[in-house]
Amino acid sequence: MSIRTRLTLTFTLLIAGILMISFLIIYYSSEQYRRVEFFDRLHERGYIIAQLYLEQDEISFQTFEKVRRKFFQNLHQESIDIFDQNKKPRFIRNQYPFIAPSRAFDQIAKKKYIQFARGSRQGIGFLYQDNQGQFYIFVSAVDITGHRKMDNLRRVLIISFLAGSLVVFLIGRFFTSLVLNPVSEMVAEVNEIRVTNLHRRLKEGNGQDEFGLLAKTFNQMLDRLETAFDMQKNFISNASHELRNPLTAISGEIEVTLSRDREPPEYKVSLVTLQNEAERLERLIKDLLNLAQTDSENSSQKTEKFPLDDLLLELKAEMDRLYPDNNLAVSFKNMPEEAIILEVTGIRDLLKAALLNVLENAHKFSNGKAVQLQLIYQNNQLHVHVLDQGMGIPPADLNNIFEPFYRAANARGIKGTGVGLALTQKIIHLHHGQIQIASEVNHGTQVHIILPAGRV
């Protein structure tokens, strides 16, 4: 069942329920009013008849009928019964069975007035005091006019209920369609969006109502999807190109080497070339795998808490092992008294790989000059600074250095994969941190990494 139909039925049932309750209250109130009003008429009629009969000692039935027809309108199936205090009949005009309760006389003697009903017939009984004594007066009749009015009211209410429910359904259907038309239009627009036209966006209207906010949110999702899709296409294209280069070099070197017999030194040179290209390919594949791993929000690696200062000292030892000629100096500033504040929560191996990428770049592009690694605690944040005095990055390239496989113009002759900084940025963001790079050509580069301190 569609939302349009569900909303229409819900609206119709709600209004129909309200109408039904209202009509039942109207009908019940009218019926109660009819009953009370007819009991009052019977009481008034019985009182007048008692006065007419009991104030005269002698009156014939014919004379009474003449007076009654002259002054009273005949009630349907009317019966009048007058009994003396000994419960003996004094005046009976009763063509219909006497319907008063069996204990009617006792109830009247106690309460002075009673009401009773059987089927559609209503009656009253009351005690009348006269100079001749006490008398029991019973009057009963059928309120045929009142019942006809109630039947008519019931028909009007039923017809009104059915007609009103139908009108409510049609109105609900119209307004539901009117309200949900933007959704139908959005569905039609979404169905037209394909991989080839991800640039298309939904109409946001005024952007303030719920449908406008939904369209706006969906457009934001499309923005992210388009960006991710473009990045994926660029990544695949660049990765294919970068992987093809070392494979082509390896294949070409093998082909040249095998083209003729060579001396052992020539084979050694060829093997060294193959080894370098294999290492380059291995490093590229490793970077690509790490990059793919950081793209996954549900990384299977377990997070842990570890001190950042210990990690930096470990990186210093790693740089000394990999590059014995490096000039890396480590310093700590404004350290807190509690060592636990220097702890961060995350994936230690990934964060180590990110920081190692930055340090290797600083060493590689500094031409043997000193590199500084600083850890500063400030405003409940851990600031890691890596400063070198190398060739720097041209201003035109600074905005693109975090794109995979992008390399600055002055760095294309230096060995590298172009994946390191993209990988580093993703890892830092994965650890709820920030990375900023400032550089000046021929004056060096400063990498500023901010991580939350003591993050739980």
Give the model confidence (pLDDT) of 72-100 as tens digits.
Answer: 566 788 888 888 888 888 877 666 666 77
348 domain-assigned: yes
In whole angstroms, give the CA distance from residue 302 to residue 306: 13
Helix (H) or strand (E) holding 93: strand 89-93
In whole angstroms, give the CA distance from residue 142 to residue 78: 7
- Is residue 124 within 8 A of residue 42, CB to CB? The reply is yes
Q: For 197-211, 213-227, 249-263, which range has the lowest pLDDT when averaged over its residues?
A: 197-211
Mean pLDDT of 24-48: 91
Q: Are strands 328-333 and 371-378 parallel, antiparallel or unpaired?
A: parallel
Answer yes or no: do 230 and 268 share one domain: yes
3-class state of residue 449 by DSSP = strand
Instruction: Give the model confidence (pLDDT) of 373-390 as tens digits.
Output: 999 998 888 999 999 988
Mean pLDDT of 346-374: 86
pLDDT value of position 263? 82
pLDDT value of position 301? 61
Answer yes or no: do 38 and 144 share one domain: yes
In whole angstroms, give the CA distance from residue 293 to residue 211: 36
Provide the domain count of the chain.
3
- Among 352, 370, 306, smallest CA distance to 449 is for 352
20 domain-assigned: yes
Assigned token pair, 108:
């009247």
* Geometric angle at alpha carbon 215, from 213 and 220, rounded to 5°: 95
Assigned token pair, 324:
């014995």
- Residue 439 in this model has a pLDDT that exceeds 90: no
Q: What percent of the chain has pLDDT over 90?
A: 20
- Residue 71 in this model has a pLDDT that exceeds 80: no
pLDDT value of position 325? 84
Q: Residue 231 — pLDDT band, cuts 50, 70, 90?
A: low
- Among 404, 406, 322, 394, smallest CA distance to 356 is for 322
Q: For 29-33, 177-181, 324-328, 334-338, which range has the lowest pLDDT when averaged over its residues?
A: 177-181
Answer yes or no: do 306 and 350 share one domain: yes
Answer yes or no: do 74 and 53 share one domain: yes
- Is residue 138 within 8 A of residue 100, CB to CB? The reply is yes
Between 71 and 48, name the one with better pLDDT. Answer: 48
AA letter at 147 = H
Answer yes or no: do 445 and 305 share one domain: yes
Q: For 76-80, 150-154, 235-239, 323-327, which range has the lowest pLDDT when averaged over its residues?
A: 235-239
pLDDT value of position 207? 63
DSSP string, 27-62: HHHHHHHHHHHHHHHHHHHHHHHHHHHHTSS---HH
Q: For 199-208, 211-220, 259-268, which range has the lowest pLDDT when averaged over its residues?
A: 199-208
- Give the CATH number of the domain where residue 398 resides: 3.30.565.10
- Residue 64 in this model has a pLDDT that exceeds 70: no
Between 59 and 384, name the one with better pLDDT. Answer: 384
pLDDT value of position 279? 76
Q: What percent of the chain has pLDDT over 70?
A: 81
Q: Where does a domain end: 150, 165, 194? A: 150
- Residue 3 in this model has a pLDDT that exceeds 70: yes
pLDDT value of position 24? 94
pLDDT value of position 97? 66
Q: Where does a domain end: 277, 294, 311? A: 294
pLDDT value of position 298? 45
Mean pLDDT of 164-191: 83
- Residue 229 in this model has a pLDDT that exceeds 90: no
Answer yes or no: do 273 and 341 share one domain: no
Range of the domain at 123: 3-150
Q: For 152-166, 348-362, 395-409, which range has the lowest pLDDT when averaged over its residues?
A: 395-409
Assigned token pair, 239:
């990765």
Answer yes or no: do 277 and 312 share one domain: no
- Is residue 450 within 8 A of residue 383, CB to CB? The reply is yes
Instruction: Give the model confidence (pLDDT) of 395-427 as tens digits.
Output: 887 887 887 666 666 666 566 666 678 878 888
- Give the CATH number of the domain where residue 109 resides: 3.30.450
Q: Where does a domain end: 259, 294, 329? A: 294
Cα Rg of the chain, angstroms: 51
Q: Are strands 121-130 and 133-142 parallel, antiparallel or unpaired?
A: antiparallel
- Is residue 270 within 8 A of residue 253, CB to CB? The reply is yes
